[in-house]
Amino acid sequence: MIELNHVHKVYRGDWVALNDVSFAIGKGEFAFIVGPSGAGKSTLLRLLYIEERPTNGTVVVVGFDTARIKREEIPLLRRKLGVVFQDVKLLPDRNAYENVAFALEVTGVRRSEVRSRALDALGAVGMRHKWDALPYQLSAGEQQKVALARAIAREPVVLLADEPTGNIDEDGAREIVGLLADINARGTAVVMATHDFSIVEKTSSRVIYLDSGEIRGEERSVGGIGHR
Amino acid sequence: MNPGAGYALREGLRLLRHNRALSSISVGTIAVSLVFFGVFLIATVHLGGLIDWFREKVEIRVILDERFRADDAPALEERILSLMGVEQATFVSREQALEELRHGLGEDADVIDILDENPLPPSFRVEVFDAYQSPEHMASLGQKLSLFPGVVEVDYGEPWIVRLSRMVRTLIIVDVVLGIIVAASSIFVVSNTIRLAALARRDVIEIMQLVGATDSLVRSPFLVEGSVQGLLGGTIAAAVTALLYHVTISHLGGEPAVRPELFVLLIVFGTVLGLIGSGFSLRKIV
């Protein structure tokens, strides 16, 4: 599903963001990438949805080799991924439903299907009842749920979450991680980057530790995400 | 309708509504530029028409010596006809010339009776084939005619034709230069408007790219916005130019020489400029 081989990412000639990173994530797996700010987590995720290309090494995501992928193929890859961020990136002038529907509309989903799929996705994150709320009318946690609904509306093979709990209180964060677990339970592989060690302390999922652009260790447990 | 086209149209019009103030500046600039362009095009068409009208009237007047005898006319006529480009040569005797003058004066013809003798010289009226009516050929024909025996003066209205031809040539150059300036300024204004619109909607562009929209779909609403700006500007320009033209014609009189296609051309030109302008601005953004 995801495979990184000896990946290096160097900015402006000498600033090393990732140094010889290799790992693989299988179908339906749940993995945390944990590390302090500046460890290279976001860079790593950006390589996965090809916002960036590696300086050296290979990145293969759902069958696309980032070294060989053509510019016009990138949208096809991204349609198989879902991405959420710390700053939810909802469109402020559209309500929750419209934000989710927009992602479907612009990726060629038939208009007759958009409505039911967008509402289903909102339902899956428990936000269907707030379908007509504008982002500013929602709490940070609720906004992140809508962003999650947008990410899963296309039923992605892999969900990438970059610090999705960064702006949210502890209860909200637990809820978001729970939703990610639900999504994972339905077969979507999930990669979540976080600097919050307390989140991973309570899970039994795979954890990859990243610091200064290098993998410092890994914990693997069996049985997907759960609470110890 | 293809879902992509529907989306482009819907979002393009939404953008246009959002950026009403900025879009109006764009539309206004295109409209004003195209009105100037349209006025010059119309002037060119009319002046060109005027030249054709003059050319139809082109004839060379070969003034002969007073003592020229009518008996010698057929021989001279033959020599004139042998010159390249000459269609017809008609001898006008002193008496005929006086008769024509009398006819031309109408009620005032009495003044002629005051004259003791006929002051008009005999002459030849020479008509030239259309293809030979260039100022250069007319000048060379005039020179050859002046060398014939008995010829005193050759009058072919040369300065007028030459001046008009030069004016039309200059106007065509002005049209081209103006067209380029209009195109460049319209593209510049549209591309800046669209660039601002695209920067203001960076969030939308980012989300679209993130969820896997194709580049062409990401660009499409902006292209629609630019084209619609050009279309509106062109339509306003066509309407204003047509109105100005109508008013001018009805004040000055005369036949309208401009075909309606010219106004359609302004609309098409505006739309194309809008499209190019927006395409230009998106190169670096999407």
Q: Do B210 and A154 touch (CB under 8 A)?
A: no
* Within a domain: B40: yes
Mark whether B196 and B270 lie in a shared domain: yes
Which residue on chain A is closest to B202 by alpha carbon?
A: A91
Q: CB B211 to CB A107 under 8 A?
A: yes
Q: Clarify whether residues B35 and B92 are in a common domain.
A: no
A79 in B contact zone (CB under 8 Å): yes
Nearest residue in B to A111, CA atom? B3
CB contact under 8 A, B7 and A105: yes
Which pLDDT does position B56 carry in this prediction? 65
A108 touches chain B (CB under 8 A): yes
pLDDT tens, position by position, B51-83: 777 666 677 888 998 888 888 888 888 888 888
Beta bridge partners of A8: A56
> Residue B142 sits in a domain of what CATH number?
3.30.70.3040
Annotation: CATH topology of A2-222: Rossmann fold (3.40.50)
The ipTM of this complex is: 0.89
- If you average pLDDT over residues B161-180, what whole number do you get? 82
Boundaries of domain holding B77: 65-156
Indicate yes or no: CB of A75 within 8 angstroms of CB of B212: yes
Find how far residue B111's CA is from the centre of its chain. 44
pLDDT in tens, B8-37: 888 888 888 888 888 898 899 999 999 988
Our count of domains for chain B comes to 2
Test B211 with A91 for CB contact under 8 angstroms.
no
Contacts of residue B239, defined as CB under 8 A and 6 or more positions apart, other chains included, come to none
**Domain boundary residue, one of B91, B123, B156:** B156
Same structural domain for residues B74 and B116?
Answer: yes
Interface of A with B in 130-189 (CB under 8 A): 150, 154
Across the interface, whether the CB atoms of A89 and B203 are under 8 A apart is answered yes
* CA dist., res. A87 & res. A144, Å (int): 8
Q: Is A111 on the interface with B (CB under 8 A)?
A: yes
Confidence band, pLDDT 50/70/90 cuts, at residue B163: confident
Does pTM top 0.80 for this prediction? no
Number of C-beta neighbours around residue B35 at 10 A? 20
Has residue B121 been placed in a domain?
yes
